Structure 1
Amino acid sequence: MLPNNQSQTESKKPHSVLDHAVHLSIQPGQLILSPFRRWFHKHYAGQYKFDRAVFLFDLVLMSLIGALFAVTLFLILVPPKQFRDDINFRATVAPHEVISGASSTLVIDYENRTKETLRNPKLDLAFPKHFLLQSVSVNGSNVDTHNISLNDIPVGGTGTIHIQGVMFGDVHGTQTFESTLTFKHGTKQEITDRKIATYTFSPAHSTLELGLSLPDRAIASQTMSGTITYKNTGSINMRSVRIKPEWPNGFTFIDASTQIQNGAFVLSNIRAGSSGEIHFTGKFGNVTENPTFTFHPSFVFDKDAYKQETLVASIPILPAQIQLSHSVESNILTPGTNAVFRVHYKNIGNETLSHVKISLTSKDPFLTKHESFASEINTLKQGEEGDVTFTISVRSSVDAALLTSYENLRVRTNAIARYEVAGSGDPTQNKVVGDELSTPLTTQLNFESFARYTSPGGDQIGRGPLPPRVGQKTSYWIFWNIDDTTNAIENAHFEGTLPEHVTFTGHKTSSEDNSVIFDPQTRKITWDVMRVPSTLNPETQVFSVAFEVALTPSSTQIGSPATLLKNIHFSGKDRFTGGILNESKPDITTNLPNDQKAQNKGNIKP
């Protein structure tokens, strides 16, 4: 006999297909109601007089709160449709590809899909920062402002706005335009509303076109030069451009034709269609991997900069084969003399070199030869070394127009080796440039000493008869000038001696505070100046002194010119190089071929 509980359990089991179906249909409902039953028995049963009614009331209240929350959430996430939502804006741009710095046209189409006429519509256009507006037209009519009054827009009405201008922005960045349409509508009550639309474009390219010219290959531990080319391919001028270099690892920047400011080359006012170049020089260290040069250009507007297309280029690098060094025989160079340079070379590579040509070059105008060559070396084996001597003349003077700096000048020289690798089958000529040697240059000296009876303008400054006559006094002015000096001169000393029959009148003038002194016993006229400044700069003045002398000829001088000043000499010390300066001048006589009034009137008359 089965236990009681077992029989009860078995009595609840369904015994037919219909019973099974009813049993399965009841189970989901019981599962759903089960938590409510537990909640009721735990918190309500026996707690209240009408516990079932209170439970049902709370259940309804919580359902209402949940429904209210769901409706609120729906309204937040899915806002109701606004009247303005039926006003459509669509924007396109021509050309299809936006170019930073180039003119383009933004076309905005609008359509009124509402059921009312839009009254008193006004369109306000907002442009990206530094957008250069060229023209705006609405429905084919040009307007002069970006605040545009439109005609009433009927139901189904359309219109087109053309905006032409130049976008300046980051390449692959974003440029955002905005249009705000303000209007009135409503049949019973007038309502003011507005429709705001934004349009975003991304410049794909730039009107600033960069290129990079590099040697076919570079050599480790050697200097290398490159050229950045730039061109404004657009139709408007570029006010300011920055090109920031990112030099390769192991490359040391030395110099460039355009000055670097705050880590970048700065170019101003690049005119439409124009181009230019930036030449740069640097030196590689012991580099083994091929270096990559990177340049980051930007359009600059005050404090804003817009990145343009980056320029990237690589160059193969070879290990160094020849080591070069050079020196100069004297530690300073002097104008008008010969300079002796000695170049030392050595094959530090693992290959035999052939057709080796050693030369010495200078980029400055002070040497008479830009590049001097030694005899070719047929072969240079591993570890072999030698010396080559170059004797080159230093120019006596250089025109200021050839220089960009006028004071404390140096002569820059480099040794160069050109060679081939023997037996390699490669006829390519390799080039190695040695380190630059910078040698101080003693100043050139233009010391002028002459007399005048009339000024260069024709004014008479002398007195007395011309030609000079025996027993009669004729006065002249004598000038000492220093010009075209590249360095300051210390302890400058000018002197000359007055011959018999010539006296110092005491009249004098000078570009300095002090002037000449006359010693009656030695008959010397001297002028001592502590410092003569550099005078090569075209903006500086000639350093000069002038004084008056009087000639009273004797009968022994009849028929020939008379001497006015003799033993004329200048001496001083170059403040930059320490070089001693000495220059003598011929005697000054009454023969003055360059004086308008005194020429051909130098011979003494009775």
Structure 2
Amino acid sequence: MPQKQSENEIKIKEEDSSLAEFTKRTVPSNYELQKFDEVVEEEFKKNGEPEEKFDINVDSEQDEKIEASLNEIYDDGNGGKVDVKRLDKVKRRGIIYKFFMLVVGLGIIGGFGYGAYYLYQHLGSDVTALDFKIEAETEVMSGEEFFYTISYKNGSNVNFNNAKIEVNFPENFIFLDSAPLSQIEKNNVWEVGTIAAGHSGQLKIKGFLAGPKGKVGIIIANATYNPENISSEFRKEATLTTTIKNIGLNINFDYTESSLAGEVNDIDVRFSKQEKSFINSFRIIFEPQDNIQVMSGDEIKLNNKASSTIIRPGIWQIDQISDEELVLPIRFKFTNKKSPSQEIILRFEQAIGEDKFYQFLEQKINYEVMKNDLNLIFIINGSRNDQGVNFGEALNCSVVYKNKGETEMTDVVIMAVLESDFLNWSTLRDDKKGREKGNTITWSKEEIPELAVIKQNQEGTIDFSVRLMDIDKINLNNSKDFQVKSYAQFTIGSKDSAGKKTGSEENRSNTVINKINSDLKIDEQVRYFNDDNISVGNGPLPFQVGQKTSLKVYWTLTNNLHELNDAKVEVKLPEHVTWDNKNRTNVGTVNYDSSLNLVTWNIGRLPVSVFRADAEFNISVTPGDNDQNKIMILMPGSKATAVDSATGATLEKTTAAKTTKLEDDDIAQRNNDGIVR
């Protein structure tokens, strides 16, 4: 039977605890805790447990910690304790509140959407969205007509009002027409007005550029406009660069680079039209200088002399230009010597209208001006001017002397100086037997009796020749100047005694510089077997009437000294030889023109770093009845050409003809004598 408990005893519920049960109880008081300790102590005593082992009294310090933790847990934030018996319940908001908040949210979203739509409709998607550009040819000939096309498009959703296009043309652009027409006399402003949203337009300007090759013209166009409902002005800019790629004329100059003061000189201006040319007339201006007298040149007779009008001394108007070369001779003289070297400038101008001219070419010619009593002229290989020469080539030299003074000259000594490390002096040929020493040949009255006394206006010529070394005798890796610098000079006994310095500029001739051309070489082989004894041809060998034999042609170019330009190799195949394709090259391209039966290997630029270039292709031949018992020509000889970038000379090399004997194929020659069976 269960024992009855007193009121002060602690009641322990045997059911499982829960949060609901916990919240029903208040925080135990100190009295209740003390009674709980006493009950526990009594129970230990009844069970015979030692009191000291189960002492659960807590010291004062630990009591304080426990009490502080409980106070912190049940603190209500206002200095009191939370009544855990009472829970405050918050009611959930109803459906009306939710509907109200939904309406408010949709209203805010709709407001933003309407604002964006308003801006889109009234301000446009982008008030700067004007697509503005210029289109035209980037390269044109001088004088060639072309169009600038200026396009614009309104990429926004509002109108662009007060639109205007203003163009700054290149200084050398000649305006001819436009569509639509400009509203001002300068033809560079167009009032476009309103450009509707999404609409586009175009402006076309016709004209041409005048000027020299390489002249650049930059066009700048500006578009201004006001977007609808906006007072600010907006601007867009577009630019385009066009370059003059050529003048359309072939113009060359023939002249001597040295002159004696008071001596008449001629400059021959040679000109002709190129295949594509737009300059139909021009004028030449000889830039005046105070010590130069320009003459008319009317007395000069030439078969291809150009028809010209002398506007005034030093200005010639040319109105006739043809595909055939014409020559305008310009005659002048230096009245006195201002300096050892003097520059002459010729300007070529194209007339635009009546009083406007554009320069399309300027030629500067440097003259060596001499002033002495004995006029000396040094000529090499028929020219007083610089020119290229080849290794192993003979230099045929002439020293022409003439007494231009007022009295006779006595005891004259003439010297020819040839400065070069590449002359083979053992090949010197001199009928006058001059003394050669240290790159100098000297003649006095002992070798040439006429030099004892040279009377006024008396003249004479000394001829000699010397060869350049062969290339296989030269170390090309040696960093020397590959050239020959030549001039003549004189001394006179009476002038030497007066202290005249031997070798000064006053007693020298013109100087000729012969730069040595690059050592371009071409090797051509026609073979049935290659170097590895592998067949690269097919068909019968020896050649048989009515049967096709195919062969391989090998071209090899080598070059050492200078870079080459416009390099190419050409051969016109005989009528009985057929192009058989299978071409290959490591530089450039190999092309075949069937209308001419012409094979061309176009190389173009060949730098020094490319020592060797190779090409190959196939040909075939089918001998006819008339070819029986004959040796047939397969390759008539190929020609390699190039322009030496250092000397300016056009190099040309040719190969020997190749036949059915297959001269370069040792294996094929074992059972082939070249005679068609």
Q: TM-score range by the shorter chain?
A: 0.3 to 0.5
- TM-score, normalised to structure 2, is 0.34
When you count strand as a share of all residues, which structure comes out higher? 1
TM-score, length of structure 1 as denominator length: 0.37
